[in-house]
Structure 1
């Protein structure tokens, strides 16, 4: 049985990992004023987006999923002759309709895949299961990396899907925006802009205005809350990296994956205080550290220079 994993373009895995494991990326459309582009997680295009298009993004600009029939056509072209069983892992359904669209598109495949496989000379049935990752950005990447580890170990696709569903509620994702003016203008959750910003303002009381501090935001089971504040991005990042290192060294991770993504040059992440120590801890404990570009979807919402970090572990106090 040929088993495949598909992720959408918000899943922050490095390009070399995607290529090594031949992971197809479900595209996402980016709307910028009267123009649109399609994000397929091509690093050069993402970097150009950061530098050329992101500074022009307005409050109404957004990312949006392909429509159901567009997804169905993509599935037919990219998957049904290449695999026998596919797991399609998406961003949280609380954040995007991608899961809903992919699920509807998968139903239509039942009526169409046989002719496509027969024309290609491929025998046997095709099956696809769409999994709501329940996470975002680096958090979805943790699940995807773990799925590929299990597939590589020969796990049955049903076992992989069950494990992802179990693990999704235990992924700890952290966001560190650098441009809080961008965050204040746009908000993060559609329809809940004031709620998130009110929590940030409350956490910043006594420490200066919202733009004078950098918050580390925890995203866990759909809830966003600031867990740390620092006077600069580097100081906030150091707090986050030290916390992540403590979880790695304590042996708390439920999967040997730690994912990070950044809306900018990745060399800047490697220069952050605490990164070298975190990287060394991962090597010592047999944890794979994946460093990737933040998706344009993440950058539109969080701004240039934003950092995302995630791992799977029991909930622990941020220290």
Structure 2
């Protein structure tokens, strides 16, 4: 079986997954102060954090286009591949719709999967699909079914260290942002039905790492020995070291991956962010 795994750049996945020969990431377009850039192509994540701190206006993301998907689907189906395409949440972007429109115009076996998550949450599905492809026991259709079966087991928690970006993007009322920043209250967020949701709050930054780890353990009934854990961060490396320490002390998982927040998520949260996700 020849299977090509495609995802969009709303999925934040570890470098060891990105670098697998059967994985390809299609970048979204980022508009920064009137100039367009391809996510992860025209700049690294580290460079984007610097750009984000200096730009005058909040960056805007544009979905992967029908043409982009059509070109890549045609390329691989003509080479004899079945294609699995995993997208970020259809509730946050039109990328899933673009992929389905392109699929309708391309001959071959193409399977589109709406992760209903962003960032590390979407990444869990890409990681799982890559593992199943490497095992070689399932065809593309069966892998999609396995992804559907794991929906209830995927968890994501993330904390933006400032509320300013969420306020500017209209995802948080100004008065909530003002009070939160003034009192140094950080929201702990997840995604539910494809949309962001605040599930808890923490005062200050020093307690964020331990709170995230405790919450992900609680979501998994205290046992993650058979789970895949991914931890992520942005420009805030010192905060991430605290998260790594907490994970090392409290979590014994089947596999722990590390990644960094990409421009699609950090355009809305700011460059300083911590996140943790889990799945089978």
**Same fold judged by TM-score > 0.5?**
yes
- Structure 1 residue 129: Cα displacement: 0.8
- Structure 1 residues 23, 269: closer, same or farther in 2, change over 3 A? farther
Q: Is 1:104 aligned to 2:101, yes or no?
A: yes
| RMSD between superposed Cα atoms in Å | 2.7
* Structure 1 runs not aligned, ≥5 long: 111-125, 314-319
Query: Where does the alignment leave 5 or more consecutive residues of structure 2 unmatched?
Result: none
Q: What is the alpha-carbon distance in structure 2 between the residues aligned to residue 52 and residue 223 of structure 1?
A: 26
TM normalised by structure 2 equals 0.87
For 1:136 and 1:236, the matched residues in 2 are separated by 20
Task: Write the distance in 2 (CA, Å) between the matches of 1:48 and 1:82.
Answer: 35
Say if 2:223 is the partner of 1:256.
Answer: no
Larger Rg: 1
Note if 1:173 corresponds to 2:163: no
Match of 1:85 in 2: 82
Change over 3 Å in CA distance of 1:31–1:285 after alignment to 2: closer
Q: Deviations over 1:41-86 (max 9, x none)?
A: 68x6221111124431524x31112321232123334x23555211
Deviation beyond 6 Å, 4+ runs, structure 1: none
CA distance in 2, matches of 1:57, 1:310: 32
Cα–Cα, structure 1 residues 285 and 230, in superposed 2: closer, same or farther, change >3 Å?
closer
2:179 aligns to what? 209
Q: Quick check: 1:143 aligned with 2:106?
A: no
Q: CA deviation at 1:24?
A: 0.2
Indicate whether 1:7 and 2:7 are aligned: yes
Provide the TM-score with structure 1 as the length reference.
0.77
Q: 2:196 aligns with which of 224, 228, 232?
A: 224
- Residue aligned with 1:92, SS: coil
Partner of 1:30: 30
CA contact (8 A) 1:5 1:86 kept: yes
Separation in 2, partners of 1:172, 1:88 = 21
- 1:186·1:301 contact (CA, 8 Å) conserved in 2? yes
CA contact (8 A) 2:73 2:110 kept: no
Deviations 1:133-166 (A, max 9, x none): 1111110011111111222222221111012123
1:67/1:247 Cα in 2 relative to 1: closer, same or farther (>3 Å)?
closer
Matched residue count: 277
Aligned equivalents of 2:114, 2:90: Cα separation in 1: 6
Inter-partner Cα distance in structure 1 for 2:14 and 2:197: 27
Please state if 1:159 is matched with 2:142.
Answer: yes
